[in-house]
């Protein structure tokens, strides 16, 4: 499939997904009714790294800071997904060797930044107890026009919905969580240059 055809299919898929989301997915409450952490995303960057005897591979990494202003200490167990315009969704940390994590931490060059395992635990109240983190994804495909990060674990808001089970055709109940959505424009081939962060084009909360 040539690039033009692939981009057309991607556009059609995004349009269809948008209509489905509008029709099916509920919106978060206009004013938060549950606890919500202050997530301050840093830059999304791309890099080529080599681990041991393996050849160079492409990775994306995102830094962030989280502050607990809820008035109570809370368990902090974040989950970050990265989706491309082909509908491929990757969970951060999966298929990321420890050697790659160590290299990314060196690139970030911040002694307070923790990887996604080290940052887990109780998040105490107040800006003086803020935590800095980094999450990493492998990039199997460099041809994409957009990347989207979904950050969960930063809000206690949930909503039940009824969906159709594709295997049985039956209507089943599912719980959606309020997540932060960060969207980035990446026209054409991704350039693996960590000195140039990707352009963020949208930042909002959704139910997912």
d(CA 81, CA 78): 10
> pLDDT of 132-148, one tens digit each?
999 999 999 899 999 99
Instruction: Answer yes or no: is pLDDT of 14 > 50.
Output: no
Q: What is the pLDDT of residue 56?
A: 94
| Averaged pLDDT for residues 108-113 | 95
Q: What is the pLDDT of residue 166?
A: 86
| Averaged pLDDT for residues 33-60 | 95
Residue the block writes with tokens 């902090």: 76
Q: What is the pLDDT of residue 2?
A: 53
Closest CA to 197 of 65, 41, 57: 41
Q: Indicate the average pLDDT of the chain.
A: 89
User: 8 or 104: which carries more pLDDT confidence?
Assistant: 104
Residue burial 52-91, b: 16+ Cβ < 10 Å; e: rest: eeeeebbbbbbbbbbbbebeeebebebbbbbbbbeeeebe
Cβ pair 16, 166 in contact under 8 A? no
d(CA 129, CA 114): 14
């Amino acid at each position: 499939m040539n690039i033009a055809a692939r981009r057309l299919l991607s556009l059609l898929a995004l349009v269809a997904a948008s209509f489905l989301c509008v029709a099916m997915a509920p919106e978060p409450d206009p004013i938060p009714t549950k606890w919500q952490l202050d997530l301050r995303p840093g830059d999304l960057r791309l890099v080529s790294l080599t681990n041991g005897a393996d050849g160079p591979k492409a990775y994306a990494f995102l830094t962030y800071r989280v502050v607990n202003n809820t008035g109570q200490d809370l368990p902090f167990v974040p989950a970050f997904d990265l989706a491309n315009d082909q509908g491929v969704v990757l969970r951060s940390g999966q298929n990321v060797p420890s050697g790659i994590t160590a290299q990314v931490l060196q690139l970030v060059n911040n002694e307070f930044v923790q990887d996604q395992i080290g940052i887990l635990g109780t998040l105490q109240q107040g800006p003086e107890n803020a935590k800095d983190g980094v999450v990493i994804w492998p990039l199997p495909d460099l041809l994409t026009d957009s990347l989207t990060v979904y950050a969960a674990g930063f809000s206690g808001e949930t909503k039940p919905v009824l969906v159709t089970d594709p295997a049985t055709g039956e209507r089943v109940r599912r719980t959606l969580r309020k997540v932060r959505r960060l969207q980035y424009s990446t026209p054409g081939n991704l350039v693996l240059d960590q000195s140039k962060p990707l352009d963020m084009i949208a930042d909002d909360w959704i139910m997912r």
